[in-house]
Structure 1
Amino acid sequence: MSIPVVDFSAYGLNEKAATDEQLRALSKELKKALTEVGFVFLKNTGIAEEEVSRVMDTSKTFFLLPDDLKRPFSRKSFENNPNHGWAPLETERLNPRRCGDLKEAFNAASLNPDIKWPSCDAVKGFQEIQTSFFLRCKELSLRVLRVMALSLGLDPDVFLSAHRLIGTDENGTTLRSLYYPPVNSEKAKEGQLRCGEHSDYGTITLLFQNSDGLQVRRRSGEFICAPTIPGAVLINVADLMQRWTSDQFVSVLHRVLLPPVGDCSTRQSLAFFVQPDDEALITCCDGSNKYPPVSAGAYLIERFNDSYGRN
Structure 2
Amino acid sequence: MSGSSPVPAISLKDFETRKDEIITQLVEAAETAGFFTLIDHGITVEEINAQFALSETYFALPDEVKRKIPHDIKTNNGWEYKAQIRQSTGTADQKESFWLQRNSEWPTDEEVPSFRDTTKKFMGKCEQISKKVLACFSVALGFSEDHLNKAMDVEAPDNITQMRLIHYMASENAVGTWRAGNHTDVGCLTLLFQRDGEDGLEICPGRESHTDHAIGDTFHPLPAKTGPIVVNIGDMLMAWSDDRLKANFHRVRAKDVGKSPDRYSIAYFNTGRKNVVMQGPLKK
- TM-score w.r.t. the length of structure 2 is 0.89
Could you give the per-residue CA deviations for residues 122-167 of structure 1, whole angstroms, max 9, x where no partner exists? 4111111211111111111011100112233332122122122x16
Task: Report the secondary structure of 1:179's partner residue.
Answer: strand
Question: Of the candidates 121, 137, 161, which is equivalent to residue 173 of structure 1?
Answer: 161
Structure 2 portions without partners, runs of 5+: 209-216
Q: Distance in 1 between matches of 2:125 and 2:86?
A: 26
The higher-RCO structure (CA 8 Å, 6+ apart) is 2
- What is the aligned partner in structure 2 of residue 153 from structure 1? 142
Residue pair 2:30, 2:245 contacting (<8 A) in 1 also: yes
Alpha-carbon distance, 1:264 to partner: 4.1
- What is the aligned partner in structure 2 of residue 213 from structure 1? 200
- What is the aligned partner in structure 1 of residue 231 from structure 2? 235
Residue correspondences, number = 269
Question: Of the candidates 52, 56, 60, which is equivalent to residue 52 of structure 2?
Answer: 56
Q: Does 1:86 align with 2:79?
A: yes
Percent pairwise identity = 28
Could you give the per-residue CA deviations for residues 217-246 of structure 1, whole angstroms, max 9, x where no partner exists? 132231011123442111110001000001
Could you give the per-residue CA deviations for residues 94-123 of structure 1, whole angstroms, max 9, x where no partner exists? 4464211001111112x22xx421115341
Residue pair 2:23, 2:137 contacting (<8 A) in 1 also: yes
Superposed CA RMSD in Å reads 1.9
Question: Of the candidates 188, 193, 202, which is equivalent to residue 187 of structure 2?
Answer: 202
Q: Distance in 2 between matches of 1:286 and 1:216?
A: 29
| CA spacing shift, 1:62–1:92, aligned 2, 3 Å | same
Task: Report the secondary structure of 2:246's partner residue.
Answer: coil
Residue pair 2:80, 2:96 contacting (<8 A) in 1 also: yes
Q: Does 1:100 align with 2:92?
A: yes
Q: Does 1:185 align with 2:173?
A: yes
Q: Distance in 2 between matches of 1:73 and 1:169?
A: 21
Q: Distance in 1 between matches of 2:80 and 2:156?
A: 20
| CA spacing shift, 1:197–1:8, aligned 2, 3 Å | same
Residue pair 2:180, 2:253 contacting (<8 A) in 1 also: yes
Q: Distance in 1 between matches of 2:258 and 2:54?
A: 27
